[in-house]
Amino acid sequence: MPLKGEKIPHKMLSQDAYSTWLGIEILECEIGRCKVAMTIREEMLNSMNKAHGGISYALADTAFGFAANTHGKYAVSIETSINHIEALEEGDYLTAESVIENVKNKLGFNIIEVKRGEELVALFKGVVYRTQKDWT
């Protein structure tokens, strides 16, 4: 039996060891939209005592993947990139929100804003491929 869209990200997170290690939590989720958050920890810092770029990238990628899959079909990213706008510190609380409305094609395009409070700290761009496999 197909899984309802807004329940899919919760199932995905329960099976995602990396996002769980990062401490990512789902704040809001509905079909076509997912907002996630996390706090930067000491073990996520680079040699300059700033958050490693992969941390904000992973948060945005998780939001992107979760939103893309809410439409009920397995969806996988095929191309992603990020622009880092501000350096991030230990203790920073980040949010990332992905909204994927148009599902007419096998490919979906999205821009995810990563924020520290109201401040934009990174812009993530992604292309997703939608398969025909249902989430169950």
Q: Name the one residue in this structure whose structure tokens are 């025909």.
A: 132
Residue 108 pLDDT grade (very low, low, confident, very high; cuts 50, 70, 90) = confident
pLDDT tens digit sequence for 2-60: 788 889 999 999 999 999 999 999 999 999 999 999 999 999 999 999 999 999 999 99
Residues 69 and 119: their CA atoms lie apart, in Å, by: 27
- Whether 13 and 58 have beta carbons less than 8 Å apart is answered as no
Nearest to 57 by CA among 29, 92, 99, 19: 19
CA distances from 102 to 7, 31, 74 (A): 19, 11, 16
Residues 33 and 41: their CA atoms lie apart, in Å, by: 26
pLDDT tens digit sequence for 120-129: 999 999 999 9
Query: Is 102 a residue whose pLDDT tops 90?
Result: no
pLDDT of residue 95: 98
pTM above 0.75, yes or no: yes
pLDDT of residue 4: 82
| Tokens linked to 136 | 């169950």
What DSSP element (H or E) covers 123? strand 119-134
pLDDT tens digit sequence for 49-94: 999 999 999 999 999 999 999 989 999 999 999 999 999 999 999 9
Residues 113 and 80: their CA atoms lie apart, in Å, by: 13
The total of other beta-carbon atoms located within 10 Å of residue 91's CB is 9
Query: Is 101 a residue whose pLDDT tops 90?
Result: no
pLDDT of residue 131: 93
Q: What is the CA radius of gyration of the chain?
A: 15
